Amino acid sequence: MEDEKLQKSKKWLHDLSTGAKGINELEALTHVGLQVMNARKGFFRCNFIVPDHLSDQDGNWHVGAIATVIDDVGAATVYSTVGDVKSVDFTISYYSRVKTREEVELEAEIVGDMGKLICVVVKVTRKEDGESVALGKQWMASFSRRTNQSQVTSRL
């Protein structure tokens, strides 16, 4: 049976992509049509055809919309493993542009786990030619994991 956290992560991304009731309308606009193709604890692969309404003035996928999708796919990936999380550091490198109506693949994977701090990397590539579009790295703090207080020493 599929883990409950993984199910919730997949459902949340599905609800974003369909604009389900109770989902923030602005956030849902950036995920319209996002499809989860493969998901397991700590790993998500999604396909996405960039809709026209997410374009900048030149007809490219708006960088703010890219950041929102990377953020949410990364958060779902981490949630699938540890539950509730909060972002503490988020960086994105942009490599190439994507026109609207082009298809991209997002692959998110946990690459670091330090107890309460988890790092996820989200790679965005153009489906047609495999060209790198963007790479997001996000450190998230887990609310559900406990740290052994006797091992934590303050330097203050």
pLDDT tens digit sequence for 73-92: 999 999 999 888 888 899 99
- How many angstroms separate the CA atoms of 138 and 136, rounded? 7
Domain of 103, in residue numbers = 4-151
13-27, 47-61, 106-120: segment of lowest average pLDDT: 13-27
Report whether pLDDT(146) > 50: yes
Domain-embedded: residue 98? yes
Confidence of residue 153 (pLDDT cuts 50, 70, 90): very low
CA distances from residue 46 to 34, 73, 76, 123, 143 in whole angstroms, order as listed: 7, 8, 11, 10, 26
Strand partners, 48: 104
φ/ψ region of 146 (left if φ > 0, alpha if ψ in -120 to 50, else beta) reads beta
Domain-embedded: residue 95? yes
Domain-embedded: residue 135? yes
pLDDT of residue 150: 40
Which residue do the tokens 């990377």 mark? Answer: 70
Domain-embedded: residue 102? yes
Domain-embedded: residue 38? yes
Domain-embedded: residue 156? no
pLDDT of residue 2: 60
- How many domains, the chain? 1
CATH number of domain containing 110: 3.10.129.10
Strand partners, 109: 43, 121
- How many angstroms separate the CA atoms of 49 and 20, rounded? 19
Report whether pLDDT(61) > 70: yes
| Helical segments of 1-126, H only | 4-18, 25-29, 63-82
pLDDT of residue 106: 98
Domain-embedded: residue 122? yes
pLDDT of residue 149: 42
Domain-embedded: residue 104? yes
Residue 122 is which amino acid?
Answer: V
CA distances from residue 133 to 71, 127, 136 in whole angstroms, order as listed: 15, 10, 10
What is the average per-residue pLDDT within 97-108? 97
Count of C-beta atoms within a 10 Å radius of residue 79: 21
Report the candidate in 17, 24, 12 with the shortest Cα–Cα distance to residue 78: 12
* pLDDT tens digit sequence for 109-133: 999 988 889 999 999 999 999 999 9
Global pTM reads: 0.88
- How many angstroms separate the CA atoms of 103 and 51, rounded? 10
